Each structure stands twice: as C-alpha cells, then as structure tokens.
A = this chain, B = another copy of it.
Amino acid sequence: MGTDKKTLIVFSGDLDRAIAAFVIANGAAAMGDEVTMFFTFWGLSILRKPRRGKVRHPGQSRLQAMFGRLMPSGPDKLRLSQLNFAGMGAPMLRTVMRQKNVASLQSLMATAKEQGIKLLACTMSMDVMGFGPEDLIDGVEFVGVASYLGEADEANVNLFI
C-alpha cells in the first residue's frame, strides 16, 4: 500500500464535527497517509488558545472583538451542532465519551500532532475574525485558500466538514 494523501476542510466549530474530523484524520494517518486539515471560519475556534480575560487586541475593531468574545476558545468550549440544550449537550457528550473510553477532542488533537498531521489556518478568516497567530495553538501554519487547493490536488480524498 503506497502513501495516499487526504485533506479535510474544517469549516464547522461544533464539538461533534470537530471530533469526526480528527477521528477521520487520525485514522488515515495511522494507515500511513499524509493528512492536511485546513481550518476556516468557525473551525478556527478549535485551534484557539484559552482566552486570557476580555482584552481587545490593538487593531481589532469592535465587531471583531465581539466575534472573538462569542466564538468558543478551544476544544473545552465547543458546543454541539444538535441537542445543544442551552450548552448542556457538549458536557453530556464529553462525559459519555469518557465513560466509553473514547478519546477526547484534546487527546485526538494531540495524536494528530504526534502523527505529523498538517494543521493549516485560513488567513482570510483570521483577518475577518480578528485572530492573530498568537491566538491559536502552536504548530499551526497560516495560509490562504490556494495552499489548501494545492494540497487537495495531490490528495485522493477531500472532505468539507
């Protein structure tokens, strides 16, 4: 079996879709594939560091600061796309995953890094949302849609999540 390549566009910032994205990505990497994940729009939430207070960045507009406050910061804060129950759904899913010994999103993300999965953040979305490189976790590359398309051209499976 030769090495294939896979790409995933992670547009959604929902916990359930983020888990699905990393399960697929890690599964492919475990089978020897090169995997690239391109995070855009709400998907950037997954890569955000926990926030330190409500400080507005210099150069961030008021609207950008509002998006920044309202978008979740990192895997601990993500919500569900369904059955959200005013925020109770995500903790329920986290609990039941722990009960069944299924890896958490945090540990799926750590595995992804260990397996050398490429994490790309969409610079256009970062610009719109007012996120700088310092807002995202380490090990992320900052690229435009052309870089994603270059990777997708070489891949045999490309998904939009």
Contacts and interface: CB of A to CB of B under 8 A. Distances in A.
B42 A82 contact: yes
A68 to B, nearest CB: 11
Interface string A13-24: 100110010011
A43 B129 CA distance: 24
A9 to B, nearest CB: 7
Interface in A15-47: 16-17, 20, 23-24, 27-28, 30-31, 33, 40-42
B4 A11 contact: no
B23 A159 contact: no
A106 interface: no
A71 interface: yes
A23 B41 CA distance: 12
Contacts of A128: 93, 96-97, 100, 102
Contact of A158 (B27, B149, B159, B161): B159
**A-side interface size class:** 35 or more
A96 B152 contact: no
Interface stretch (A49-57, A58-66, A109-117, A134-142): A58-66
Interface of A: 4, 9, 11, 13, 16-17, 20, 23-24, 27-28, 30-31, 33, 40-42, 61, 63-64, 66-67, 70-71, 81-83, 92-93, 95-97, 99-100, 102, 124, 127-130, 144-146, 148-149, 152-153, 155-161
